[in-house]
A and B are shown apart, each in its own frame.
Chain A
């Protein structure tokens, strides 16, 4: 499942408040950071419901409930049904979707014609059964990431999605739908950072992942993440988003993965490491170092991309660019918010410059996006699904090529499809295997093929 930095928790709230305060932004600016803003949202009046898209959520664990909560805030979403085999989870999710039909059997959702789309947020090892059934039932499917805990299952899902030409399949790689990400993409791919030399990503959060339940069977089911039989561990269940983002920016799948993992703190019978390090190798020698731990929260979640001309830091849908002093001026800088520091722009460390920078921020800074990556991903999914439905309703389903042309002209936001989800799953599976064995695994190109 994808993990968002908006996941609830009292410690995280305090840290988020700190990060959003001017002090952090000022610190970054004083370090020579130039804050990069994607285009701000146009102001809009609050709208009464314009719900016209019936969607269901299957799987109501922590992340499934986050999805329900997010959908409840999207006006175009009509949460028609929610599903989980665990009654307490159903009750909790129903608070955000009081009008949704509650069921423990996902098949009843698939049989409901009015529900055109489903979100699959079950435990990873259960994605295949639900996703395949949903595609067979003619639904548009948003399947959380990683797609599956084996390459074979992920391939089976991807094949089915590929064959469903009148249906949308979107992978839960939510960062790909984040406007901040695809705002950065052309900068990075254009060579604005110079020669990219390395990348870094981390996810730190002190949490046990363990849940309690009234019966041993239920407890085992709830704690699927703690067992190697069902979980891809930190690098697969959490790291998949950050690792995929790096690969997206570098426009490449990894060529090798190396991993290490240990149970250092939660010695409670789990066999999934609570602390991992992974080295993801890309073509040309560029490496991503990935750290994740359940035992410490310092510095939370962020990722970096380092180049010979500049580095980019991405944190909570914001980004800062740190230029090297000898880097050339490039056209992309016209899009970046400039920080005035005396006669310099954005780099020099001058005593009075911070005040000037703050004043400049208040007057000129465009408002950053207020949506979450998850909200952008779900919104993109519903818009694309609605576009497909409108096309089929107006013209029938005999011309897949015309459908694709229409979709390309429909001004839809980008998002990760089945192929991106499949590639990310392959990487996640092998990275987790590397962590569990402490070995370097050379990635075979054919693993990424869907032939």
Chain B
């Protein structure tokens, strides 16, 4: 019997399992930290006036490998970092607001949710595909600047998006992640609001502030 292929396969399997377990052990998980400045903001235009909407809930997690900056001033290398992330925003948590932040209109909220097809698509979600560190901070409290690429699902349609993300490591095993991108609602098959000749613009700026806190291994859980 030729044991060569069997041995080679076993070695390969062992290597794969070892790599997987080493990967799992070296990943650090940060869960979304509610109630600490978390915000998603949408800004758009219309033929009548600019509009804005905000929501306080971005649930999810970020798992990062050893090359990711987790403490202020940490020395890391530019380039791709090992990372996984998922985030979800309940559509009905997004509310229209005035420029000064006061509530704008319940009816406008309902129109917005309807156009975002919620229900049944009750969440806007994002899954990270790749994270690349492109700029080191200029001071200890300045952010690390990344390019993020992932899958954004809005109104039941998923598109690949890329945007700049600023990561600021904080004390006490916390991170502040912030970023922004501009999307075209038509790419997500979201129809413009068109009322009495007043029409919303196709481009919408999405910006977010996402505080995260490292969970101890016993408290780690999956995102919902």
Chain A residues in the interface with B (C-beta under 8 A): 41-45, 47-48, 50-52, 75-76, 379, 383, 386-387, 390-391, 393-395, 399, 401-407, 409-413
Q: Are B111 and A44 in contact (CB under 8 A)?
A: yes
A86, chain B: closest CB distance, angstroms: 33
Q: Are A394 and B90 in contact (CB under 8 A)?
A: yes
- List 11 extra interface pairs beyond A394-B59, A410-B93, CB under 8 A: A42-B96, A47-B110, A50-B113, A391-B57, A394-B32, A406-B35, A409-B54, A409-B56, A410-B95, A411-B54, A413-B103
Alpha-carbon separation in the docked complex, A390 to B59 (Å): 9
Q: Does B88 contact A (CB under 8 A)?
A: yes
Chain A residue nearest in CB terms to B195: A45
Given contacts A387-B93, A394-B57, A406-B57, contact A41 B107 (CB under 8 A): yes
Chain A residue nearest in CB terms to B98: A39
Decide if the interface of chain B is mainly helix, strand, loop or mixed. Answer: mixed
B125, chain A: closest CB distance, angstroms: 12
Q: Does B3 contact A (CB under 8 A)?
A: no
Q: Are B104 and A42 in contact (CB under 8 A)?
A: yes
Q: Does B224 contact A (CB under 8 A)?
A: yes
Q: Are A402 and B93 in contact (CB under 8 A)?
A: no
Alpha-carbon separation in the docked complex, A406 to B195 (Å): 32
B93, chain A: closest CB distance, angstroms: 5
- List chain B residues, Cβ under 8 A from A383: 95, 106
B14, chain A: closest CB distance, angstroms: 38
Alpha-carbon separation in the docked complex, A379 to B107 (Å): 11
Q: Are A402 and B103 in contact (CB under 8 A)?
A: no
Question: Which of B114-122, B139-147, B170-178 lies at the binding interface?
Answer: B114-122
- List chain B residues, Cβ under 8 A from A409: 38-39, 54, 56
Given contacts A399-B34, A403-B35, contact A52 B122 (CB under 8 A): yes
Q: Are B107 and A52 in contact (CB under 8 A)?
A: no
A256, chain B: closest CB distance, angstroms: 37
Chain B residue nearest in CB terms to A40: B105
Q: Are A404 and B35 in contact (CB under 8 A)?
A: yes
Q: Which B75-128 residues have C-beta < 8 A from chain A?
A: 88, 90, 92-93, 95-97, 101-108, 110-111, 113-114, 118-119, 122
Q: Does B189 contact A (CB under 8 A)?
A: no
Q: Are B56 and A410 in contact (CB under 8 A)?
A: yes
Cross-chain contact of A405 among B34, B104, B198, B224 (Cβ < 8 A): B34
Q: Are A395 and B34 in contact (CB under 8 A)?
A: yes
- List chain B residues, Cβ under 8 A from A412: 103
For this complex, 20 residue pairs linking A to B, each with C-beta atoms less than 8 Å apart, are A41-B105, A41-B106, A41-B107, A42-B107, A44-B110, A44-B195, A50-B114, A52-B92, A52-B118, A393-B90, A394-B32, A394-B90, A395-B34, A401-B35, A402-B33, A402-B35, A403-B34, A410-B56, A411-B103, A413-B106
- List chain B residues, Cβ under 8 A from A52: 92, 118-119, 122
Given contacts A52-B122, A394-B57, A406-B34, contact A411 B108 (CB under 8 A): no
Q: Does B20 contact A (CB under 8 A)?
A: no
Q: Are B119 and A379 in contact (CB under 8 A)?
A: no
Q: Are B101 and A411 in contact (CB under 8 A)?
A: yes
Interface centre among B57, B113, B195 (most CB of A within 10 A): B57
B133, chain A: closest CB distance, angstroms: 28
